[in-house]
Every structure is written in C-alpha cells, then in structure tokens.
Structure 1
Amino acid sequence: MGSLGSRFQSSPRGPEEAVERQCAGNRHSCECRKRKRSSHCECDSEPEEEDSQLDTPRRKKLKSTSKYIYQTLFLNGENSDIQIRALGQEWNLHKIYLCQSGYFSSMFSGSWKESNMMVIELEIPDQNIDMEALQVVFGSLYRDDVLIKPSRVVNVLAAACMLQLDGLIQQCGETMKENVNVKTVCSYYNAATMYGLDSVMKKCLEWLLNNLMTHQNVDLMKEAEIMEQLIQSSDLFVMQVEMDVYTALKKWMFLQLNPSWDGPIKQLLLDADAWLCKRRKAGEEEPFLNTDDGMPFVPVFRHIRLQYIINDLASARLLERDNILPPEWLSAVYKQQWFAMLRTEHDNDNGPQEANKEEFELNSMRCGRKLTKDGDYCWRWTGFNYGFDLLVTYTNRFIIFKRNTLSQPCGGAVSLQPRRHLAYRLRLASFDNSGKVVCSRSTGYQLVTLEKDQEYVVMNLDSRLLSFPLYVCCNFLYTSPSSERRGDTPEPDNKI
C-alpha cells in the first residue's frame, strides 16, 4: 500500500481528494499525509466541534481518575504500605505519596529507624494541629485541588509547616490574605508570625492600620495584641486627631482590664470614663500607669504623640482629669512645645525646608476625616499649629490646602510671616464591608511652601476611581526638628 499522499495523486477523483480539500480548509498540517493508513483522515469538515467532543470525555476521565485515586488510595487505604498514627487516629497511606513531604522524604531516605517501619507514631508538638487538619494535609498528597476553609486555615497551615509541604503552605497564605477581616485578622497575624509568612503579616498589619480607628470594633480591641506596633506607626489611619488615638487606647486598656465587658461600641467610652471616675473617687492620686495594674500599658501609651494633644485646651484638660499619664511625661512635652513655639516666633522657624523622612515618620501630626458622600467640604484640624492655620477643601474632585492668614476667621493666633513651609502626606481610601481597600491614593512624602492666603492643589481625583464613604488621612509637620534632635547644641533648661 502506498502512502496516503501518493494515493491522493493517483486517484484525483476519489474520496481521498475530498479529504485533502477538507484538510487544507482547516488551515493546519494534516499529519495523515505522512502516515500509511486508510483513506479516512483525522481531520473532519467540522474540526472544532469534533475536537470539543473528543476533548470533553478526556477531561472527564482525568477528573474521574483524580477522584478515584483520592477515594481508593487515600480514603479507602487500598494497597497501603505504611500506617501513620497521630492524635488517636490511623491513616493507611503510601510511601510514594508521603515522599512529597519534606518531613517524610527525609525520614524514609535517611538512616532513621522509621525508614523501614510499617507503622509510624507521629508526635504532634503544635497545639494548632488537630486531627481534621492532618486529614486535609494527608489528603492533599493524593489530589491536586484542596479546599481550605478560612476558619480552618491556621490549623492546616500548622500541619503543612510541620510536614514541610511548601505548596500547601503557600495556598494557606493566599487563603489567609483573601479572607482578612475583623474576625480573622488577629489570629491570622499571630499565625503568620509563628510560621514565618511575612506577606500575610504585612497584609494583616496593613488591614489593622486602616481599620483600627476608621471602623472601631469591640472584639477587635479585645484581641489586638500588636497595639504598640499600630500606635507608633505614621501609617495609622487616625480619625479625627491625635486625641482620638488617646481615647481609643483608653477604651482598649479598659477592655484589657475588664475582659468580660459586653456592650455596644458607643457605650464603651462612657464605661471607661466611669471606671476612671470611680478610681478618682476612691482617692487614687497616683497616675494609673505608675500603678502595678497600669505598668503593662506603659509601652503602648508611650507612642501617643502628646505634642499634638496638649496644643488643644479641652484635650489638655481631659488628660489632667483622667490621671492616666505620669506628670513627668506631660511636663517634658509642655517644655518641648514651648521651645518650639519660641523658635517659630523668635528664630523665624518657617517649617521644614529639607526632606527628613525619619523625623516625619516619628513626629508628624496624624489626623483624618470621613467624607460620607460626594459634595463640597471644608475643614481644619484643631490645635495650635504655631500660627499655621491650614484649611482643607474637597470640591469638584479636588483636594486643596489653603494657608489662612487674614481671609478667613480663625480661633487662634495666625502667623503673618511671608512664607511658611510644610511637610505632608495625604492619603485617601475607601473600604468594603470586610475592611478591604476598594480604592486608594497617596501623595507620598511632600514639601510645600505657602505664602499668605495661598491655595495649593494637593490632589486631582479621577471620579471613576472614587467610592464613598471616603476616608482622608493626613500627616503634617509644621516645624523643623529641634537642634537637640538634630544632634546640635541642646535646648537650654533655663533653670533659675
């Protein structure tokens, strides 16, 4: 029998000619020309439909095979050559599948006594590992697709880490990052810290910085064990001013001391203040942080930026009334702010003129605002800012700073110096119901010089990217670093 190609030539009017025309019409190489075979070609007049028909059962067969392997070998344990015992449960498994695990691969390939054992008693040192987690992890060795429930992911991660299953560990990390919310964020952060998932830690920390104060929650405040790291960060979304950070810590401290407290978030501050009032009526004159009960909270309260609280009269009075902070803390800040004011008045400190991101991160004023719906807004953040009265406007999708000197009323003193310098960073964000960022914008660290009553466009927003409510968070630095912080001659004590 000649080749199919030669038969095409010898019988131009036969059925082979029709087959050849169909192959050419399909615009792909017809391999049937190169093989010795009958006049029937693999190509058909409707190749796409037939290919689809041919592929469909093949995919079903593969899927069925996967299910068969999982059911027969793992669940039924047929042809098992090793038994694993742990937590009162037995699994009849197969060494060839277990060797996908770095833990078992080392065990079976080395000179360990377990390499020739038919039954292995598995010690479980991690309390996060339970029988259900082991079932999922062992089962993952017999199948490609593993469904990990967000509520069980920490347990599965613990087992995957113990058995050194890198692929499953990565899948656990992705599951955690996709399901960070108020109920999971603290447990996920702690697990990521324990098992070394840096990307999950970063995701959880970012979520907490965004939501701790914008969406205050009683359960979150009860569980937040990384409060010190959050409070010291300049990335914390503060609503409205630094005094609100102090208020949030007061509520947090009350919950730590009264873990059985159960009530709505609106009642929490009232009960925290009542608790402090009761303490004062009992004759407790010692600042609370100086007491044995208060000492554990000292590191967290240390990171409040008190210089932006004592600049407001009502806030300063509230600090004195609560008697939480040691008086020496406040005295040091009062002194620092007094010298800062004198520098702006007598040394013509017009604000930061050189980039100093370290100073900015450590000492910038943190403040924020919630815009419930699109419209026109104009506001100022309260506090004495060394004569810098800054008006912030949101209108027509623009955010504008204006240095107010004479054009608008102001409740405090206003500097009339021709130019003032300002370091700032402005961020915008909106969130979905789980606290995930829907859209965000940031100016990054910026320096700007403003003349009297000058307006400055900070951000021009694309309406397609905006979602309300919109949260505005700003960091400001109004004065240059003091000479003491710059490493120069320290400020005089002026002791008499």
Structure 2
Amino acid sequence: KIGKVKVNYYKIEVGVCVCCKNINKAVRELEKLQTRQDGEIKGENTIKAIAMGALYSRVQNPLDITRLIGRKRKRSDSDDSDELAKLDASMKSPKKKKLMTTAQYIYQALFMEEKSSDITVRALGKLWRLHKVYLCQSPYFSSMFGGSWKETNKDFINIEIIDPKITTDSLYIVFGSLYLDEITLDPRDITSILATAALFQLDGLIERCAEVMMESINAETAVVYHEAACQYGVKNVKKATFEWLLVNLLSFYTKHWRWLRLISVDLMEELISNPDLFVMQTEFSVYILLRFWMFYHLHPEIETVDKSECAINPVNYFTERKDEVPFIETNCGRYYKRPFMALRMPHLLSHYRDIEVLLKDNILPKSWFFGPLLSQWSSMLSIDESLDKGPSACDEKLFYSSCMRCGRTLQEEGFQKWRWTGFNFGLDLVLITDVRMLTIKRHHRTEHERLLSMQVKRNFLIRVTVASLNELRQIKHKQTTGIKDLSLDKNQELPLMYLDPKLQYPLLISVNLLIVTPNGPMEEKLKDFDKLATTTEAEIKILQQIKLNSAPTNSSCVESPPPPSEAIRSSSARPILESV
C-alpha cells in the first residue's frame, strides 16, 4: 500500500507501506517544506513513500520525524553479493531425506508378506515361509542346505525344538533378524532370544544378546541370566552375573528373601565357597542365609508376607522339629547338603551364642564341629605359648581357603571405627575410616589383658576390597589392597589403603583375614568331616526325586515369616558388628 503524507504547519500525518525499505524520500520532502518562510503552508503534498519497519500515525513536530525513524543506510553492492552467495550455496547443497531402506523393504516384502518364498520351516507348530539365501546366514541352515542331507533339496523342513526357553515369539524375532540390519531386543525376552540364536548358531545375535544382558543385570535377572549363560556358553555374561551375586548375596538377598529360591543348589555351593564373597558381618551370617535359602526352597507355596495368609516361621521351623536326626541328614534335607559343606566351620565357632544357635537348629551333624573345634583349641594353645606369632607368609591358595570373611556397609563419608566381635585368638583389630583413608589398629586394652595376646608383635594376613554400586547394584568401581602381610605392635596403627576418589558412598567393604598359621588346606584338615558330608551318586538320584516332593506336610499357615534380615538379628542376641 502507498501511504499519503499530509504536511501542515501544525500537523503531519504519515502513512507508511511496510513493503518498502526507502523512507528517505518522505524525509527530504518534509525538510523542504520546513525551510519555507511563510508562517503557514497551504496545500497538500502527496508523497509516495515506501518504508520498512514502524507505522507512524501522528507526529506533532515535523522535525521529530527524522529523530524517530532515523536514516536508512544505503544498500551497498557487497550486501547484494552476500545474499546472492548464500542463495547460491543453499541451492547447491544436497538435502538428505530418509526413505524406506533396502533392509526394511526386504523385511516387509520377503519376511512379513512372504513373497517369493522357496522354503517352508515348521517349528513349534507354526509354519514360516522363508528364503534359503537368507537362512544360510545361519551355520545351522547353511550346513543343512549345502551338505549331503535329505533336507538339502527339499522345500519343506520340520525342526523339532526341545528347549523350553525357545518360543514362537523368539523364533519370529530371530528369523526376522536375518532380513534386517538392526534389531530391537527386550530384556524381558532376552533369554528366549539367546536360546534361539544359540540353536541356529547366530554368533552376531548372541553377542548383541550378551550386551543387553550385561546392561540389565539386577536382582530379578542375575540368577536367570547366569543359568542361561552357563547353558549357552556366554562366558562374559556368566562372569558378570556371578560377580554381581558375590557382591549382593549377603547385602541384598537377606533383605529380599523371595529371590533366594531362584538360586540353585549348585550355584549356592559355588557362591558360598568363593573367597571373593562379600560377607556382610561375619561367617555366621552365611549360615543364617543358607538356613533361609533352604527353608524357602522347602516351602515354594509361600508367596506372601501377609500374617493373615501365611504362618510358617523360618526361625523356629528347624528348632521345633522333634526329630533328633540333623535335618541335613533327613530325606528332605540331604538334597541341600553340599552348600552347607562349603561353610567355613572354624569361623562359625568363634562365639558362644553362635554355637548355641547351631545346636538348637539341629541342621548340621555335631560331628561336623569336632575337627574345627580341635583345630581352634590347638591354635589357641600355640599362640598362648608364643609358638605361633601369626602367619608371616602363606600360599595364596591356602590363604583364600583358610581365611575368615567379614565386611560391612559404610553409608556415608566421615570418621568411623569398628571391629567384628567374637574370639580372634587374642588379636583385637579395629578398622578406621577418616575422609579418604582406611587404617587398621591393634587395640590392646590393659583392663582385658587376660583375653588378649601378650606377644609384643603379632603377624596376620589381610586383603581389603571396597566397592561402590550403581542403581542396579552393579559394581561401578572397585578397589583392592591385594594380600598384605602386616605385623603390629600393641596399639599400633597402619594405613591399609587410600580410597580412590571414584568410589562413591555407600561403600561395601569386604575383608579376608587370616590371624593364625594354617597347618594345611581346610579340606585336608577336616577329612573326617568331609567323609561324613560326602553324597554318593546313588544318593543324588534319590535326592532329585525327593526334591520334587520335598515340601513338608506341616505347612499350615499361622504367622508370617519375618524377613531374613530381621531373623538374623533375632537368631542371636550378641552384636555381630561392634562400633568402637
């Protein structure tokens, strides 16, 4: 639109076109009118003005026009050339727009719509119309179609699948992956997909499954993933899940008892016997864990903690038995014998109340205690007569098989000091954390000298491992001292490690400690104990049948079983971990 400028001595009205950038013409006309000598200017001067920017409706003084709208810079040739260059560049640069890829087209046309199929596969009662050229990516089908097999020239094959983990859904995903260059894997179905990929020997898909499993290890999946990794030979997943269980078995499963029944006898035996197990509190906590683990295996019907629905108390279940035969020797208990054999018996007998609980439970035969008690008595006498000043050097294998395992959780940073209770052959060791340092002190209190070793120096071996976990309780960072050979005077304090800044609270601390010189591997020292605990192959066959019907008949529910963490506290009145 073209606006009109009405110039009057008293009033100027300006109409502006927003499409034009040149307003100077209007300004020049106004300046000419202002220089006239007449007191009053008559007439109208119509100015065709083109402007860009603001719209002015009324201005009282014609001199204010220039102040308000300013002077427009003359357009230079360089500005035009820059715009032309940008325009030219935008026209020359290619634009990428994603269309349906070849893989997507192949998947849609050949797999989903089954076009040009040259082979029909029947599996789990379902027909799959596929293509040999794509199936031959699998060594399973490649050898079938390329060898001297009866299926080589056929257009129909039947696959008998006996693995219960393989489902029609997993077959759909695996067959479909042969037509694609990428795949979406759901952790909830990953074990079925892994089983199917292992059947057809698809190494690439197995690796992708392993990556997903490694990223999603948690309390719900750890045992399931470990069993699948063992069955299908995925070594990295097997190692990762086993390490997860070593760290969390005592720190997590004692608070979430329902997951215990997922752990098999073989896996539990392997975990209990491992020296890297993060034992929270002392070795006696391992026995308490096994007691609950066996109880919940015996009572698979317990699925709730509601007191109105369930009533078998795992704490009193074994003590209230009237049978004098140790439970582990009964038909129901013999199946669970091997994990209890892996217990480090000498370290279960270092406190009177612990022995009292063992005798009341009547789970283990009393004959299992004789060898360890004799070994402990012999060690105590040799230390009292200064014949044994503690281990100064030890074979690594012997250390890991004989050491005591203990630990605790540090919830927050700051000065903390603690010891593990129980008889430690006159050596009172206190661990201290202050800011980012962990130290150990031989505490020698004069008021208790009769219970402490009077030797000036005491030797011992120790290994400390500190770990911090992420939200899935996977190890985020771990630091260890290795096996340290230490010698402490009375009340002497030595640093154990400087905590890495990457360690974040809460911290899990695991300690392997050997304070007496071992005479030999624990298995050799307790031969009589091992003979009593050995299960023959014939017994194992019987036990496998017993396991199917192992739930006791007296399973009437009156009261809810407490969580194992509470039962551990109530099973023994003594404090296992003592703050100093």
Same fold? TM cut 0.5: yes
CA RMSD of aligned residues (A): 2.8
The whole-number CA distance in structure 2 between the counterparts of 1:224 and 1:195 is: 18
Give the unaligned 5+ runs of structure 2: 1-83, 528-580
* Pairing of 1:33-52 with structure 2 (within 5 A): none
Deviation at 1:476, TM superposition (A): 0.1
- The 3-state SS of whatever aligns with 2:157 is strand
| Letter of the structure 2 residue corresponding to residue 56 of structure 1 | K
- The 3-state SS of whatever aligns with 1:54 is coil
Residues 428 and 473 of structure 1 are in contact (CA less than 8 Å); yes or no, is this contact kept in structure 2?
yes
| 2:455 aligned residue | 417
* Pairing of 1:356-367 with structure 2 (within 5 A): 356-367=395-406
| Letter of the structure 1 residue corresponding to residue 263 of structure 2 | A
Query: What is the number of equivalent residue pairs in this alignment?
Result: 437
Deviation at 1:232, TM superposition (A): 0.7
| 1:212 aligned residue | 249
Q: 1:50 to 1:451 in 2, by over 3 A?
A: farther
Task: Name which of 431, 435, 438 aligns with 1:392.
Answer: 431
Residues 218 and 265 of structure 1 are in contact (CA less than 8 Å); yes or no, is this contact kept in structure 2?
no
* Pairing of 1:149-188 with structure 2 (within 5 A): 149-188=186-225
Task: Name which of 297, 306, 314 aligns with 1:272.
Answer: 314
Q: 1:223 to 1:172 in 2, by over 3 A?
A: same
* Pairing of 1:27-426 with structure 2 (within 5 A): 54=94, 56-57=96-97, 60-61=98-99, 64-216=101-253, 217-225=256-264, 226-264=267-305, 271-279=313-321, 283-406=322-445, 413-426=451-464
- The 3-state SS of whatever aligns with 2:318 is helix
Deviation at 1:219, TM superposition (A): 2.5
| Letter of the structure 1 residue corresponding to residue 477 of structure 2 | C
Deviation at 1:184, TM superposition (A): 1.1
* Pairing of 1:455-494 with structure 2 (within 5 A): 455-462=493-500, 464-482=501-519
Identical-pair percentage = 37
- The 3-state SS of whatever aligns with 1:100 is coil
Deviation at 1:56, TM superposition (A): 2.6
The whole-number CA distance in structure 2 between the counterparts of 1:72 and 1:412 is: 87
Residues 422 and 449 of structure 1 are in contact (CA less than 8 Å); yes or no, is this contact kept in structure 2?
yes
Give the unaligned 5+ runs of structure 1: 1-43, 491-496
Deviations 1:162-192 (A, max 9, x none): 1111101111111111111111111111111
| Letter of the structure 2 residue corresponding to residue 402 of structure 1 | K
Residues 398 and 521 of structure 2 are in contact (CA less than 8 Å); yes or no, is this contact kept in structure 1?
no
Q: 1:52 to 1:392 in 2, by over 3 A?
A: farther
Higher relative contact order (CA 8 A, sep 6+): 2
Task: Name which of 464, 474, 477 aligns with 1:439.
Answer: 477
The whole-number CA distance in structure 1 between the counterparts of 2:257 and 2:352 is: 29
Residues 251 and 269 of structure 1 are in contact (CA less than 8 Å); yes or no, is this contact kept in structure 2?
no
Residues 319 and 362 of structure 2 are in contact (CA less than 8 Å); yes or no, is this contact kept in structure 1?
no
The whole-number CA distance in structure 1 between the counterparts of 2:305 and 2:294 is: 16
Deviation at 1:451, TM superposition (A): 1.7
The whole-number CA distance in structure 2 between the counterparts of 1:335 and 1:232 is: 22
| Letter of the structure 2 residue corresponding to residue 275 of structure 1 | Y
Compare CA radii of gyration and give the structure with the larger one: 2
Residues 402 and 521 of structure 2 are in contact (CA less than 8 Å); yes or no, is this contact kept in structure 1?
no
Residues 401 and 521 of structure 2 are in contact (CA less than 8 Å); yes or no, is this contact kept in structure 1?
no
- The 3-state SS of whatever aligns with 2:228 is helix
Deviation at 1:124, TM superposition (A): 1.5
Deviations 1:55-81 (A, max 9, x none): 733xx24x6222111111111111222
The whole-number CA distance in structure 2 between the counterparts of 1:395 and 1:406 is: 22
The whole-number CA distance in structure 2 between the counterparts of 1:364 and 1:269 is: 39
Task: State the TM-score, normalizing by the size of structure 2.
Answer: 0.71
Q: 1:429 to 1:483 in 2, by over 3 A?
A: closer
Residues 441 and 494 of structure 2 are in contact (CA less than 8 Å); yes or no, is this contact kept in structure 1?
yes
- The 3-state SS of whatever aligns with 1:152 is helix
